[in-house]
Amino acid sequence: MIFTIPDLLTASELEEIRSILEGAEFADGKLTAGWHAQLVKDNQQLKSGQIQTQLTQKVKEALNRNALFQTAVRPRMIHSLLFSRYDVGMSYGTHTDNALMGSGFWRSDVSFTIFFNPPSDYEGGELVIESADDEKAYKLQSGAALIYPSSTLHRVDPVTKGTRLVGVGWVQSLIRSESEREILFDLETARRSMFSQQGKTVEFDLVSKTIANLLRKWAE
């Protein structure tokens, strides 16, 4: 399931993050890429340290308070987060994200990209997600996030003008299967709609029971 969160970050959070990134030190993005991804990765990434830790905490707080993210992704662990900069000529060719990441060997079930500057700041730099017979390009407003399966092939097209600033992260979900996460999301959406229209009914209780039992069956 691919979806967007239009205003993940507040205006003040966004301003603070951009201000910090503009004065921060970046390194070659190839340093955090696998041996094959290094062949197609051409960007810069925020160096590890106190600034990265500070920004990571801010992004995690935003994701943890967002109801849509929590309901659709059901995160067990937001385990990895990189802050990337693309200047003119930089891109990231077609790749798929590593299945296991970090010292804890966390699974990458769900990926997310948070856009820190508006589309008017740069040309090119679209995030393109490929499918079997099509592909779709994304270039969201600042403060917005795109959520997508880590299993997809995707790329970042070359930046031809300006600078692209993004945060990219990965999540191990409580629900391993993408299709099962979507079933739970649809049921939860229906349950909330039922409650808002009719309150706590017999039907609401049955859907609640089903969601709880599916979580018992599928969660890990």
| The total number of residues written for the chain in this structure | 220
The pLDDT value given to residue 109: 98
CA 126 to centroid of chain Cα atoms? 15
Mapping DSSP onto H, E and C, the string for 90-131 reads CEEEEECCCCEECCCCEECCEEEEEECCCHHHEEECCEEEEC
Q: What is the pLDDT of residue 31?
A: 82
Mean pLDDT value across residues 203-216: 98
Q: Is 154 annotated as a binding residue?
A: yes
Residue 62, pLDDT > 90, answer: yes
79 annotated to bind ligand: no
Q: Distance between CA 52 and CA 115 in Å, rounded?
A: 16
Q: Pick from 148, 84, 145: which is nearest to 115 by CA?
A: 145
User: Rounded to whole angstroms, what are the CA distances from 30 to 43, 86, 112?
Assistant: 8, 13, 19
Q: With H, G, I as helix, E, B as strand and everything else as coil, classify residue 175.
A: coil
Residues 109-144: tens digit of each pLDDT: 999 999 999 999 999 999 999 998 999 999 999 999
Q: Is the pLDDT of residue 73 over 90?
A: yes
Sheet holding 153-156, edge to edge: 41-42, 91-95, 153-156, 127-130, 135-138
Residue at 33: amino acid letter: A
Query: Domains in the chain and their CATH numbers?
Result: 3-173 (2.60.120.620), 178-218 (no CATH)
Average pLDDT estimate for 28-42? 85
Tell me which DSSP letter residue 190 carries.
H
The CA distance from 170 to 106, in Å, is: 9
Average pLDDT of span 27-45: 87
Q: Is 164 annotated as a binding residue?
A: yes
Is residue 211 over pLDDT 80?
yes
Q: What is the mean pLDDT of the chain?
A: 96
The answer to whether the beta carbons of residues 41 and 131 sit under 8 Å apart is no
Q: Tell me, what's the pLDDT at 190?
A: 97
